[in-house]
Amino acid sequence: MRFHQLFFLLLTFLSPHFAFAHFFLKIPAYIGYNDALQATAPCGGFSATSRPVVTDFTVNGFPVGITSTHNGVTYEFRAALLSAPTTWVSLTPTCQVTSGGYPYFCEPQIPGVAAWAGQDAVLQVIQHASDGTLYQCAAIKFVTGGPYTGYTTTQCRNSTSPATNAVWV
């Protein structure tokens, strides 16, 4: 292989858009991430009832943090009870996020479902991007109280360089 071909290959691998690098749910901990299956509803190729890590989600607000390789996307934040894992309710309006580069977006106070306090549930984040609809889920339990403020401003932040611009619609 000639040097310039190798160089091109390296560039391809290092690009944030290599393969299908899509988006990552950072907070709360996701059920699982599989790049190739992220377009599979409802949880990107993982079972909605899988519970490797369970996060207590305060119903008066809990942070949801995401990184994405896409520049212009729309997010939906939904939840379902573990006992009815196909019945999703929206927690928020949709959110349009624009950014150059590799944005980190964190909304510190995604509201929970107050009536579900004390119950096991699933958080679903849907990203609508140029390459389609993509899914990530987190195993949660709704608990009373909040907003939860236990994450640092490094863990829950919006990118500033390049800037994240988020609008709820």
Binding site for Cu ion (CB under 5 A): 22, 131
Chain centroid to CA 157: 14
Under the criterion CB under 6 A, does residue 76 sit at the interface with ligand NAG? no
Under the criterion CB under 6 A, does residue 44 sit at the interface with ligand NAG? no
Choose the stretch contacting ligand NAG; rule: CB under 6 A; options: 17-25, 53-61, 123-131, 153-161: 153-161
Q: How far is CA 105 from CA 22, 39, 57, 135, in A?
A: 14, 20, 18, 16
Under the criterion CB under 6 A, does residue 106 sit at the interface with ligand NAG? yes
Partners of 165 in the β-ladder: 98
Which option in Cu ion, ligand NAG, none does residue 131 bind, with CB closer than 5 to 8 A by kind? Cu ion
Helix (H) or strand (E) holding 77: strand 72-81
Under the criterion CB under 6 A, does residue 31 sit at the interface with ligand NAG? no
Q: How far is CA 77 from CA 12, 89, 104, 160, in A?
A: 32, 9, 16, 23
Q: At its nearest, how many Å lie between Cu ion and the CB of residue 44?
A: 11
Q: Binding residues for ligand NAG, per CB under 6 A?
A: 106-108, 156-158, 166
